[in-house]
């Protein structure tokens, strides 16, 4: 039922509408997790991943249709300029969908009670603390989360931090690779990784904004490098999805040179954008925000 809220054709013409669809899907997912897992200690322990799973399930029908349209344009369109113009519209729609996830997750993180935040974003908080190379207890203490909510929800210690350009780029390159694999294997499957990244960034924004309700500053800080980083994941997801759909429809054997050339170009573009995002994260964001 929810997949009929917006069609791929409408999304490409009005990509900003996907922002509100993203907010709706992620918010509905949070309510569903509460309805289904409430009272079940085992399910609630994994509520943070159920949240991403439901968000993915809501999004897959639309993403599959959008990728299908992109693959058809690859096969039917002979002029490269028009092909990439079509891709840019699809990518913009996906970007607004991601931003909808991000804003909704961030606002829920800021305004939910503390015990509910730890339950619904436990994996994301743990990921944030590991990236910043801190033990879980020290990290959460710094951001004002009480120890009484940790037991049985957050575990483990942090890993080495990622502070230089090469390590950040290599780490993000792994994410890019998994995004490509997911999109190849499942077509629209890369939306799971995008929803996960939206929730992790939202947890980071929420940790900084919670208490003083200053949403805009941490949002801009993360979006400065986050927009190009996510754009690279969207490009690679679209490339993998197009190839996956073409193989299923057997268009690949008829248009192999054209498809391979355009898909490889999308892969190269994604890697270059990812390198730019890493550069911004290491050198520009600290300069602008003094972090």
In the chain, what is the straight-line distance between the N-terminal and C-terminal CA atoms, in Å?
Answer: 45
Instruction: Report d(CA 246, CA 238) in Å as an integer.
Output: 12
3-class secondary-structure state, position 102: helix
Least confident range of 154-158, 193-197, 224-228: 154-158
pLDDT at residue 259, rounded to an integer: 73
Instruction: Report d(CA 259, CA 239) in Å as an integer.
Output: 9
State how many domains the chain has.
Answer: 1
pLDDT at residue 136, rounded to an integer: 60
Least confident range of 8-12, 103-107, 205-209: 8-12
Q: Where does the pLDDT of residue 98 fall: very low under 50, low under 70, confident under 90, or very high at 90 and above?
A: very high
Instruction: Report d(CA 83, CA 30) in Å as an integer.
Output: 37
pLDDT tens, position by position, 26-62: 999 999 998 888 777 788 888 999 999 999 998 888 8
DSSP state of 46: T
Residues 210 and 218 sit within 8 Å (Cβ to Cβ): no
Mean pLDDT of the chain: 78
Confidence (pTM): 0.83
More confident of the two residues 158 and 278: 278
Residues 191 and 63 sit within 8 Å (Cβ to Cβ): yes
- Residue of 97, 96, 88 whose CA lies nearest to 70: 88
128 lies in which domain range? 2-289
Query: Per-residue pLDDT averaged across 98-106, rounded?
Result: 95
Helix and strand numbers (H, E) in the chain are: 13, 0
pLDDT tens, position by position, 110-131: 888 888 888 889 888 888 877 7
């Amino acid at each position: 039922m929810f997949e009929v809220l917006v069609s791929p054709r409408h999304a490409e013409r009005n990509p900003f509408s996907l922002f509100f669809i993203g907010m709706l899907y992620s918010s509905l997912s949070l309510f569903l997790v509460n309805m289904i897992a409430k009272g079940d200690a085992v399910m609630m322990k994994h509520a943070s991943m159920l949240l991403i799973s439901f968000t993915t399930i809501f999004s897959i029908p639309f993403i599959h249709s959008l990728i299908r349209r992109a693959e058809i344009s690859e096969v039917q369109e002979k002029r490269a300029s028009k092909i990439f113009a079509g891709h840019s519209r699809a990518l913009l729609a996906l970007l607004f969908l991601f931003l909808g996830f991000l804003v909704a997750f961030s606002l829920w993180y800021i305004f939910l009670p503390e015990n509910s935040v730890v339950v619904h974003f436990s994996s994301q908080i743990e990921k944030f603390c590991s990236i910043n190379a801190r033990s879980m207890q020290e990290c959460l203490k710094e951001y004002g989360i009480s120890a009484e909510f940790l037991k049985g929800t957050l575990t483990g210690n942090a890993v080495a931090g990622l502070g230089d350009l090469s390590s950040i780029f290599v780490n993000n390159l792994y994410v890019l690779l998994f995004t490509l694999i997911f999109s190849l294997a499942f077509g629209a499957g890369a939306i799971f990784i995008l929803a996960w990244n939206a929730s992790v960034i939202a947890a980071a924004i929420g940790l900084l904004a919670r208490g003083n309700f200053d949403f805009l500053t941490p949002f801009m800080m993360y979006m400065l490098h986050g927009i190009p980083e996510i754009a690279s994941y969207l490009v690679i997801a679209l490339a993998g999805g197009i190839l996956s759909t073409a193989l299923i429809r057997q268009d690949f054997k008829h248009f192999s040179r054209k498809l391979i050339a355009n898909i490889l170009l999308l892969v190269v573009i994604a890697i270059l954008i990812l390198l730019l995002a890493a550069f911004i994260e290491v050198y520009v964001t600290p300069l602008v925000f003094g972090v």
